[in-house]
């Protein structure tokens, strides 16, 4: 069966949606930025771990608990009206984690990335009241913008992965093309402005 066939394409889209899920990307990005920042003498390379905990682990645990309790239908939270509380919880987790990292002396890139993520959560939480902008697309595009800011133009190869993530959300009818494009633009803009300004 070819990949253009509906079953194969849908299966690929589901796999891509899981691999490039927001929590996965955020955790991976936190670890990558923490590792890069730890390249300085005397600085631990593992500062991304607490960043990943507050920015991805704790919010994901809240969502999974909601799924188990029947309040949410899936960890992707497909219903727009169900997204607001998890987004607000994510904002609260970042709000707690950010000063903790600063007080503990984390290298600037890690709290800067967390602050950019918090800004993204605020925007998505506000828009979610009216419209289901794609968080998958926003985080994927924001991840690429952040990596470009840290590693330079070579990280633009990540655009291919971001496009694949965007395609998967449309293919699965999780979002309209407009919701995906808007999410990607917002995510990239926030990451390309807030993160470099704070690092």
Structure tokens at 171: 């293919």
Cα distance between the two ends of the chain: 48
Domain housing 173: 7-198
Domain count, the chain: 1
In a domain, 1, yes or no: no
Q: How far is CA 118 from CA 56, 105, 121, 133, 186, in A?
A: 11, 19, 5, 16, 13
On whether residue 154 sits in a domain, the answer given is yes
Q: pLDDT for 68-82, tens place per residue? A: 999 999 999 989 999
For residues 31 and 4, give the distance between their C-alpha atoms in angstroms, rounded to a whole number: 35
Does residue 72 lie in a domain region? yes
Residue 121 covered by a domain: yes
pTM for the complete prediction?
A: 0.91
Question: Does 2 map to a domain?
Answer: no
pLDDT band at 46 (very low <50, low <70, confident <90, very high): confident
Q: What is the pLDDT at residue 2?
A: 43
Higher local confidence (pLDDT), 5 or 24: 24
Across residues 14-39, what is the average pLDDT?
A: 93
């Amino acid at each position: 069966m070819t990949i253009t066939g509906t079953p194969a394409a849908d299966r690929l889209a589901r796999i891509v949606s899981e691999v490039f899920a927001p929590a996965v990307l955020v955790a991976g990005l936190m670890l990558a930025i923490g590792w890069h920042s730890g390249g300085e003498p005397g600085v631990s390379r593992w500062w991304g771990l607490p960043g990943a905990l507050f920015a991805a682990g704790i919010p994901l645990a809240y969502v999974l608990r909601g799924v188990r309790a029947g309040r949410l239908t899936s960890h992707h939270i497909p219903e727009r009206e169900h997204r607001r509380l998890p987004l607000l919880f994510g904002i609260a987790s970042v709000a707690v984690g950010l000063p903790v990292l600063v007080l503990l002396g984390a290298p600037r890139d890690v709290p800067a990335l967390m602050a950019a993520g918090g800004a993204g959560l605020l925007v998505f939480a506000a828009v979610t009241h009216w419209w289901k902008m794609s968080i998958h697309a926003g985080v994927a595009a924001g991840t690429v913008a952040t990596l470009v800011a840290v590693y330079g133009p070579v990280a633009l190869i990540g655009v291919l992965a971001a496009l694949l993530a965007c395609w998967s959300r449309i293919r699965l009818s999780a979002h309209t093309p407009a919701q995906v494009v808007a999410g990607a633009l917002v995510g990239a803009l926030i990451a390309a402005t807030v993160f470099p300004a704070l690092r």
